[in-house]
A and B are shown apart, each in its own frame.
Chain A
Amino acid sequence: MRLFVSEGAPGSLPVLAAAGRAQGREELLISTVGPEECVVPFLTRPKVPVLQLDSGNYLFSTSAICRYFFLLSGWEQDDLTNQWLEWEATELQPALSAALYYLVVQGKKGEDVLGPVRRALTHIDHSLSRRSCPFLAGETESLADIVLWGALYPLLQDPAYLPEELGALHSWFQTLSSQEPCQRAAETVLKQQGVLAFRPYLQKQPLPSSFEGRAVSNEPEEEELATLSEEEIAMAVTAWEKGLGSLPPLRPQQNPVLPVAGERNVLITSALPYVNNVPHLGNIIGCVLSADVFARYSRLRQWNTLYLCGTDEYGTATETKAMEEGLTPQEICDKYHAIHANIYRWFNISFDIFGRTTTPQQTKITQDIFQRLLTRGFVFQDTVEQLRCEHCARFLADRFVEGVCPFCGYEEARGDQCDKCGKLINAIELKKPQCKVCRSCPVVKSSQHLFLDLPKLEKRLEEWLGKTLPGSDWTPNARFIIRSWLRDGLKPRCITRDLKWGTPVPLEGFEDKVFYVWFDATIGYVSITANYTDQWERWWKNPEQVNLYQFMAKDNVPFHGLVFPCSALGAEDNYTLVNHLIATEYLNYEDGKFSKSRGVGVFGDMAQDTGIPADIWRFYLLYIRPEGQDSAFSWTDMLLKNNSELLNNLGNFINRAGMFVSKFFGGCVPEMVLTPDDRRLLAHVTLELQHYHQLLEKVRIREALRSILTISRHGNQYIQVNEPWKRIKGSEADRQRAGTVTGLAVNIAALLSVMLQPYMPTVSATIQAQLQLPAPACSILLTNFLCTLPAGHQIGTVSPLFQKLENDQIESLRQRFGGGQLEESLELKAKAPPKPAVVEAMATAGPQQIQVLTDEVTKQGNIVRELKAQKADKNQVAAEVAKLLDLKKQLALAEGKPLETPKGKKKK
Chain B
Amino acid sequence: MAAAAELKLLEKSLGLSKGNKYSAQGERQIPVLQTNNGPSLTGLTTIAAHLVKQANKEYLLGSTAEEKAVVQQWLEYRVTRVDGHCSKDDVRTLLKDLNSYLEDKVYLTGYNFTLADILLYYGLHRFIANSNSASICPNPAWRHRLLQVYNSGYPNTTCCPPSGLSFPYAL
State the A residues within 8 Å of B (CB): 41-45, 53, 55, 57, 59-61, 63-65, 67-68, 71-72, 77, 79, 82-83, 85-87, 89-90, 93, 210, 219, 222-225, 227
Contact = CB atoms under 8 A, between A and B. Distances in A.
Interface string B30-62: 101010000111111110011000000000010
Contact of A82 (B30, B39, B49): B49
Given A225-B32, A225-B40, A79 B70 contact: no
14 contacts: A43-B97, A57-B66, A65-B69, A67-B68, A67-B69, A68-B69, A71-B65, A77-B72, A79-B50, A82-B43, A83-B41, A83-B46, A87-B42, A224-B25
Interface of B is mostly: helix
Interface residues on B, range: 35 or more
B80 A90 contact: yes
A89 B97 contact: no
A263 B53 CA distance: 55
Given A45-B93, A89-B76, A227-B34, 15 more contacts: A41-B100, A57-B70, A59-B73, A67-B69, A77-B49, A82-B46, A82-B49, A82-B50, A83-B42, A86-B43, A86-B46, A86-B76, A90-B43, A222-B26, A227-B40
Contacts of B80: 89-90, 93
10 closest Cβ pairs, A-B complex: A64-B73, A68-B69, A71-B65, A86-B43, A222-B26, A42-B101, A42-B100, A83-B46, A61-B73, A82-B46
A77 B32 CA distance: 20
Given A82-B45, A82-B46, A89 B73 contact: no
A68 B32 contact: no
Interface of B: 23, 25-28, 30, 32, 34, 39-46, 49-50, 61, 65-66, 68-70, 72-73, 75-77, 79-80, 84-85, 93, 96-97, 100-101, 103, 110
Given A71-B65, A219-B27, A227-B40, A79 B97 contact: no
B43 A83 contact: yes
Contact of A67 (B26, B72, B85): B72
Contacts of B46: 79, 82-83, 86
Contacts of A59: 69-70, 73
A222 B76 contact: no
A57 B73 CA distance: 12
A755 B141 CA distance: 60
Contacts of B73: 59-61, 63-64
B134 to A, nearest CB: 20
Nearest to B79: A90
Contacts of A68: 65-66, 68-69
A57 B110 contact: yes
Contact of A77 (B43, B61, B77): B61
Contacts of A65: 69
Which of B32, B72, B80, B93: most chain A Cβ within 10 A? B72
B76 A44 contact: no
Contacts of B103: 42
A86 B45 contact: yes
B10 to A, nearest CB: 15
Given A44-B97, A57-B110, A63 B76 contact: yes
Nearest to B48: A82
Given A57-B110, A86-B79, A89-B79, A64 B72 contact: yes
A636 B158 CA distance: 56
Contacts of A225: 23, 25, 32, 34, 40
B151 to A, nearest CB: 28
A53 B66 contact: yes
A883 B58 CA distance: 85
A53 B46 CA distance: 25
A45 B100 CA distance: 13
A42 B77 CA distance: 14
Nearest to B100: A42
Contacts of A224: 25
Nearest to B109: A57
A85 B76 contact: yes
A64 B72 CA distance: 6
A56 to B, nearest CB: 9
A602 B81 CA distance: 42
Contact of A44 (B30, B77, B93): B93
